[in-house]
Amino acid sequence: MKTFSLTTIFVVFLLVFSNGIHAQVTTSNLDQIKLMQQAIGTWQGDVGKDTVEVQETQQYGKAFITTVYHIIKGKKSPYYINNYSFDSKEGKFKGFALWPNGDYGTWIGLFTTEKKLSVDLVQDFNPKAVNFKIEIFYETPSKTIWTSFNTDGKKTGENKYNKTK
């Protein structure tokens, strides 16, 4: 009888307190759209020898469009266009980048702090097929640092941009 009582108490304990054992989904209380508005405007940075990258971002309703081009030795060349919006169902931004030669890339990301946008470059919006990662840190309202990482988390590059408009 003693064993039955201890077992019953143990089972009741597990049933009552098992709610705390379930995995919890983390939700961000950051206003993702408002934070993405930091990107609006014209940004530029040196990305290579004799190469300046210019990013022009505008808001399109609740979505965003960024046109990127390179100025190489004074000559302007299109680089890519990036369209992105916030998927409220998944709680993340989803973006589609298109290059002039027809290549494309997709990404998923969100602001993890008010100043840091964390992005996974993925295959066809598959969050499990990450090609590499980028962190965009808004150091000030007019300065950003883009840091890229491989899938192992090793830093592979860094570019700095200044807002010009």
Domain presence at residue 83: yes
Nearest-angstrom CA–CA distance, 117 and 84:
13
pLDDT at site 1: 52
Domain presence at residue 22: no
Q: What is the CATH number of the domain that holds 146?
A: 2.40.128.20
pTM for the whole structure = 0.80
- Residue 164: is its pLDDT beyond 70? yes
124-144 pLDDT, tens digit each: 999 999 999 999 999 999 999
Domain presence at residue 79: yes
Domain count, the chain: 1
Distances (CA, A) of 100 to 19, 36, 51, 56: 52, 25, 18, 16
Nearest-angstrom CA–CA distance, 91 and 94:
10
46-95 pLDDT, tens digit each: 999 999 999 999 999 999 999 999 999 999 999 999 999 999 999 999 99
pLDDT at site 38: 96
CA atoms within 13 Å, Cβ hemisphere of 153: 0
Domain presence at residue 10: no
Domain presence at residue 156: yes
Question: For residue 62, what are the domain limits?
Answer: 31-163
Domain presence at residue 8: no
Domain presence at residue 99: yes
Domain presence at residue 25: no
Confidence category of residue 29, pLDDT binned at 50, 70, 90 = confident
